[in-house]
Amino acid sequence: MLEVRDLTATFNREGTPSQVVNRIAFDIAPGEAVGFVGESGSGKSVTARAVMRLAPEGSSIAWGGRILFKGQDLLALDERQMRDVRGRRIAMVFQDPMASLNPVMTVGQQIDDMLMRHMGLSQGAARKRTIELLAQVGIRDPEIRADDYPHQFSGGMRQRVLIAIAVSCQPDLLIADEPTTALDVTVQAQILRLLMRLRKEIGMALMLITHDFGVIAGMVERVYVMHRGDIVESGQVDALFADPKHDYTKALLAAVPRIETARRSA
Amino acid sequence: MLRMILVRLALTVPILLGVSIVAFGLMRALPGDFVLAAAGTNTVSQEVIDTTRRQLGLDRPIWEQYGIWLQNALSGDLGTSFATKKPVVSELLPRLAVTAELTLMAGLTALAFGATTGLASARLRGRTDWAVRGLNSLLLAVPNFVIATLIVLLFGLYFPTIGIFNYVPFAKDPLGNIVSLLLPAISLALTVSVTVSENTRAAVLEVSSQDYVMVARAKGLLARTILGNYLVRNALTPVITVTGLQLAALLGGSILIETIFTIPGMGQYLFDSVTRRDYPVIQGIVLVSSTIVLLMNVLVDIAYARVDARVSYE
Query: Is B221's CB within 8 Å of A83's CB?
Result: yes
Confidence of residue B129 (pLDDT cuts 50, 70, 90): very high
Say yes or no to pLDDT of A68 above 60: yes
Most B-contacting residue of A82, A88, A104 (CB-CB within 10 A), to test interface = A104
Task: Answer yes or no: is A7 within a domain.
Answer: no
The per-residue pLDDT for A266 is 46
Chosen from B206, B214, B234, B310 to mutate, greatest number of chain A CBs within 10 A: B214
Is A94's CB within 8 Å of B215's CB? yes
From CA B234, how far away is CA B311, in angstroms rounded? 13
Within a domain: B313: no
Q: Is residue B118 part of a domain?
A: yes
A104 with B308: Cβ contact below 8 A: yes
Interface predicted TM-score (ipTM) = 0.91
The structural domain count of chain B equals 2
B210, B211, B221 ranked by CB distance to A113: nearest = B221
Is B214 in the A-facing interface, judged by CB distances under 8 Å? Answer: yes
The reply to whether B88 falls in a domain is no
> What is the distance in angstroms between the Cα of A54 and the nearest Cα belonging to chain B?
7
Q: How far is A41 from chain B (nearest CA, A)?
A: 19
Contacts A–B by Cβ distance under 8 A? 84
Give the total number of structural domains in chain A: 1
Q: For A114-118, A162-166, B98-102, which range has the lowest pLDDT when averaged over its residues? A: B98-102
Higher per-residue confidence, A258 vs A141: A141
Of B215, B216, B308, the CB nearest to A103: B308
Question: Is A168 a member of any domain?
Answer: yes
Same domain, B7 and B141: no
Report the candidate in B7, B3, B82, B79 with the shortest Cα–Cα distance to residue B37.
B82
Residue from B137, B119, B136, B120 nearest B128 by CA: B120
Contact check, Cβ <8 Å, B220/A87 = yes
From B74, B102, B129, the end of a domain falls on: B74
Partners of B312 on chain A (C-beta within 8 Å) are none
pTM score: 0.80
Q: Is residue A76 in some structural domain?
A: no
What is the model's pLDDT at position B252?
Answer: 63
Domain span at A163: 30-45+83-256
Please write the tens of the pLDDT for every residue from A72-90. 999 999 999 999 999 999 9
CATH of residue A244's domain is 3.40.50.300
| β-strands A61-69, A2-13 pairing | antiparallel
Tell me, yes or no, whether B115 lies in a domain: yes
**Interface residue ranges in chain A relative to chain B, Cβ cutoff 8 Å:** 52, 54, 56-58, 83-88, 91-92, 94, 96, 99-106, 113-114, 117-118, 149, 151, 162, 165
Whether residue B248 contacts residue B106, with contact meaning beta carbons closer than 8 Å, is answered with: no
Q: Are A198 and A162 in contact (CB under 8 A)?
A: no
**Residues B236 and B266 grouped into a single domain:** yes
Compare all CA atoms of chain B with the CA of A174 and give the residue at the minimum distance. Answer: B218
Mark whether B61 and B101 lie in a shared domain: no
A23 in a domain, yes or no? no
- The range of the structural domain enclosing residue B63 comes to 2-74
Considering A76-80, A209-213, A258-262, the range whose residues carry the highest mean pLDDT is A76-80
> Is B83 inside a domain boundary?
no
Q: Please give the sequence-ordered ranges of beta strands (E in DSSP) within chain A, or none if there are none.
A: 2-13, 16-28, 33-37, 61-69, 72-73, 90-93, 173-177, 205-210, 222-227, 230-236
pLDDT at A264 over 60: no
**B219 shares a domain with B152:** yes
Angle formed by the axes of helices B88-124 and B126-141, nearest 10°: 150
Flag whether residue B124 sits within 8 Å of chain A, measured between CB atoms.
no
Which residues in chain B have Cβ-Cβ distances shorter than 8 Å to A149? Answer: 309-310
CATH number of the domain residue B240 falls in: 1.10.3720.10
How many Å apart are CA B37 and CA B30, to the nearest integer?
12
The answer to whether B232 faces chain A, any CB pair under 8 Å, is no
Taking contacts as CB-CB distances below 8 angstroms, the residues of chain B near A83 are 220-222
| B19-60 confidence digits (pLDDT tens) | 999 988 888 888 888 888 888 777 788 888 888 888 888 888
Residue of B216, B219, B307 lying closest to A104 (CB–CB)? B307
- B257, B144: one domain: yes
B218 touches chain A (CB under 8 A): yes
Does B280 have pLDDT greater than 80?
yes
Residues B56 and B158 in one domain: no
Among candidates A86, A99, A165 on the partner chain, residue whose Cβ is nearest the Cβ of B211? A99
User: What average pLDDT does chain B have?
Assistant: 88
Q: How far is A250 from chain B (nearest CA, A)?
A: 33
- Please indicate, yes or no, if residue A191 is contained in any of the structural domains: yes
